[in-house]
Chain A
Amino acid sequence: MNAPTLIPDFVNRKSFIELDARARAQSLFDEGTSKELVGPFDRIESPWLAKQGIAPQSDDGCIVIKGKIGGSPVVAIAFEGAFQGGSVGEVSGAKMTAALDLATKDSEAGKPTAAVLLLETGGVRLQEANLGLAAVAEIISSALALRQHAPVITIVAGTVGCFGGMSLVAGVSSYTIMTREARLGLNGPEVIEQESGINEFDASDRALIWAIHGGEQRVGMGLADSLVEDDADKVAAAVRACVHKGVPEKHRTEQVELYRARIAAIDTSSQIDPATLRQQWASPKGGVR
Chain B
Amino acid sequence: MEKIEFNYPEAKRLVTKRAHVGVVGSGDMEVLLEPNREEGARVFITTSVNGFGDAWKAVFDRFFSKFDGAVRIYINDAGATPGSVLLRLEQAVEVIEQ
Contact = CB atoms under 8 A, between A and B. Distances in A.
A56 B76 CA distance: 7
A141 interface: no
Interface stretch (B24-32, B57-65, B81-89): B24-32
Interface size class of A (residues with CB under 8 A): 10 to 19
A257 B26 CA distance: 45
A82 B48 contact: no
Given A41-B34, A82-B28, A55 B1 contact: yes
A213 B48 CA distance: 33
Interface residues of B, number: 19
Interface string B1-33: 100000000000000001010011110111010
Contacts of B48: 53-55
A239 to B, nearest CB: 23
A83 B1 contact: no
B25 A58 contact: no
Contacts, number: 50
Interface string A30-70: 00000000011101000000100111111001000000000
A181 interface: no
A20 interface: yes
A20 B25 CA distance: 11
A225 interface: no
Contacts of B29: 55
B23 A82 contact: yes
A80 interface: yes
B74 interface: yes
15 contacts: A20-B23, A40-B20, A41-B18, A43-B32, A43-B74, A50-B1, A55-B29, A55-B48, A55-B77, A58-B30, A80-B23, A80-B25, A82-B26, A82-B28, A83-B23
Interface of A: 20, 39-41, 43, 50, 53-58, 61, 80, 82-84
> A-B pairs with the 5 shortest C-beta distances?
A82-B25, A53-B1, A57-B24, A55-B48, A40-B20
